[in-house]
């Protein structure tokens, strides 16, 4: 017996219009599938469906960093986590709170368009350490997706730069300069 949610199948089957309609009428974008503990965005990322990922990212309630758990649910061991754990973790034990995010899933499978779209979302954390300290970049490298790994690394550096004091000072100075220009323009009017 399947324990799927209303949003699960449209994401797996890439039915964007159905996803949009369900979200429009209040469907919970973070509801977990009982068999896999996947949220709709986890499922869309695992299938590489860019357009359903887009539809979910447009919904402000979507948790883009949801960790898909590795624990057993209704006797079902998540095959995705198990397939990642083997090659990446070796014999290392995994804590019960470890899991995989949509970015991790897409990077692991090599879905570059989905990775790019997720990285464009400010809420996505490219530096998140999952599965015993592994990142989405590590997941991409483990499968030979070096281009994706470079994209994630660039996003990590960009976010680190934006958090730096130097960047904040440049932003402050740019804001002051813009305000000064506006005041000068108003004086001419």
List the single range of 15-19, 98-102, 108-112, 119-123 with lowest mean pLDDT: 98-102
Closest CA to 44 of 99, 113, 98, 97: 113
Q: Which is higher by pLDDT, 143 or 162?
A: 143
Region 69-94: mean pLDDT is 47
The model's pTM:
0.77
> What are the φ/ψ torsions at residue 84 (nearest 5 degrees)?
-75, -40
> Both tokens of residue 113?
């368009």
pLDDT of residue 137: 94
DSSP the chain: -----TTHHHHHTT-HHHHHHHHHTT--TTPPPTTT---HHHHHHHHT-HHHHHHHHTSTT--TTPPEE-S-BTTB--HHHHHHHHHHHTT----TT-EE-HHHHHHHHT-HHHHHHHHHSTT--TT--BTTTB-HHHHHHHTT-HHHHHHHHHHHHHHHHHHSHHHHHHHHHHHHHHHHHHHHHHHH-
The answer on pLDDT for 97 being more than 70 is no
pLDDT of residue 75: 40
Region 52-69: mean pLDDT is 88
């Amino acid at each position: 017996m399947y324990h799927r949610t209303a949003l699960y199948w449209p994401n797996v089957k890439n039915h964007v219009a159905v996803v949009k309609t369900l979200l429009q009428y209040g469907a919970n974008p973070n509801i977990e599938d009982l068999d896999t503990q996947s949220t709709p965005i986890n499922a869309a990322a695992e299938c590489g469906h860019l357009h359903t990922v887009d539809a979910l990212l447009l919904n402000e309630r979507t948790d883009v960093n949801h960790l898909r758990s590795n624990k057993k649910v209704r006797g079902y061991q998540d095959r995705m986590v198990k397939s990642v754990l083997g090659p990446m973790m070796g014999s290392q034990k995994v804590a019960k709170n470890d899991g995989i995010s949509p970015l991790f899933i897409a990077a692991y499978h090599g879905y570059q368009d989905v990775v790019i779209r997720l990285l464009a979302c400010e809420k996505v954390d490219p530096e998140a350490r999952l599965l015993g300290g592994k990142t989405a970049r590590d997941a991409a490298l483990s499968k030979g997706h070096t281009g994706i790994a470079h994209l994630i690394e660039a996003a990590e550096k960009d976010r680190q730069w934006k958090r730096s004091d130097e960047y904040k000072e440049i932003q402050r100075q740019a804001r002051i300069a813009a305000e000064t220009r506006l005041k000068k323009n108003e004086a001419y009017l």
